[in-house]
Structure formats: structure tokens, C-alpha cells
């Protein structure tokens, strides 16, 4: 593979990964997997929304719940915007609903991370000609 071809390949893989992070399922859409993209978007968006509904917006806590926030940020950069709003501490969350909300939103983020890795891997296989063998 020529040097410019390798650089283009790496740039494409990064683009697929970043697209999948900005909008869940967009990486799969870029590589032509429309059905997978729709399923991924609906699943991750509903899981994240359920977590916010159960625990309120306060479950996105970049100050007091850093490990959970790291998993939640894998959903989308929009989570960082929510984190900036809730960092003031004006949205307290107590008890079991808060815990369940953190778990749901974090699981959605980790699931999106798996989907990003999968989209990048499929994009690599498609570009190298090993896809479908």
C-alpha cells in the first residue's frame, strides 16, 4: 500500500469512528450499513433517554461521578454539554433512581463504544477487500 493510500485509509477510519461518536450509528451509515445504523441509533438513543428519564439530567455528573461520566461521554459530545450544565450541582440526584439512571446512560455509552469499534473494523475490512470472506 502506498504511503498516501495508507494515510487516506487511516483518515477514513478516523472519520468513521468520529462520525459514530458524534451520532450513534453514523459510522455504520458511512460504510453502507443502513439497517445496522438505524438499529444502533434507536437502541442507544432510547437507552440513554431512559436513563435520563429515570434518574433526571443530574445523572450526568462530571464532578462527583467521574467514572460514570467517562462511560456516559462515549454516547456523544452532547453529553459534555449536558455535563457543563449539571456541573454546577443544581441538579441533585438521590437514591435508587439516580443509580439506575447512571447505569442506563453509562451502558448506552459503552454500547456506542462497541459499535464505533465495530464500524471502524468493518470499514477497514471493506477497504482492504477482506470483508465478506
10-60 pLDDT, tens per residue? 999 999 999 999 999 999 999 999 999 999 999 999 999 999 999 999 899
User: Is position 62 within any domain?
Assistant: yes
| 4 CB burial (10 A radius; 0-12, 13-18, 19+) | exposed
**Rounded Cα–Cα distance for residues 60 and 35 (Å):** 30
User: Is position 74 within any domain?
Assistant: yes
Please compute, for residue 72, the number of CA atoms within 13 A of its CA located in the half-sphere on the CB side: 26
User: Is position 58 within any domain?
Assistant: yes
User: Is position 133 within any domain?
Assistant: no
Residue 3: what pLDDT?
61
User: Is position 90 within any domain?
Assistant: yes
Q: What is the pLDDT of residues 82-100, one digit of tens each?
A: 999 988 888 888 888 889 9
Q: How confident is the model at residue 133 (pLDDT cuts 50, 70, 90)?
A: low
Query: What residues make up the domain containing 18?
Result: 3-128
User: Is position 20 within any domain?
Assistant: yes
Count of domains observed in the chain: 1
Residue 91: what pLDDT?
83
**Rounded Cα–Cα distance for residues 6 and 60 (Å):** 39
On the question of pLDDT at 63 being above 90, the answer is no
CB 107 within 8 A of CB 47: yes
User: Is position 97 within any domain?
Assistant: yes
Q: How confident is the model at residue 2 (pLDDT cuts 50, 70, 90)?
A: low
What mean pLDDT comes out for the span 96-109? 93
Please name the residues in contact with 104: beta carbons below 8 A apart, sequence gap of 6 or more. Answer: 47, 48, 50, 51, 54, 55
DSSP state of 65: -
Amino acid at each position: 500500500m502506498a504511503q498516501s493510500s495508507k494515510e487516506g485509509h487511516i483518515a477514513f477510519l478516523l472519520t468513521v469512528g468520529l462520525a459514530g461518536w458524534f451520532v450513534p450509528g453514523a459510522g455504520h451509515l458511512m460504510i453502507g450499513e443502513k439497517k445496522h445504523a438505524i438499529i444502533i441509533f434507536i437502541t442507544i438513543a432510547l437507552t440513554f433517554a431512559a436513563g435520563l428519564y429515570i434518574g433526571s439530567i443530574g445523572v450526568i455528573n462530571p464532578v462527583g461521578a467521574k467514572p460514570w461520566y467517562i462511560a456516559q461521554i462515549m454516547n456523544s459530545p452532547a453529553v459534555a454539554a449536558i455535563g457543563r450544565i449539571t456541573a454546577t450541582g443544581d441538579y441533585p440526584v438521590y437514591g435508587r433512581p439516580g443509580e439506575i439512571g447512571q447505569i442506563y446512560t453509562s451502558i448506552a455509552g459503552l454500547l456506542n463504544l462497541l459499535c464505533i469499534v465495530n464500524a471502524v473494523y468493518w470499514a477497514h475490512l471493506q477497504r482492504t477487500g477482506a470483508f465478506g470472506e
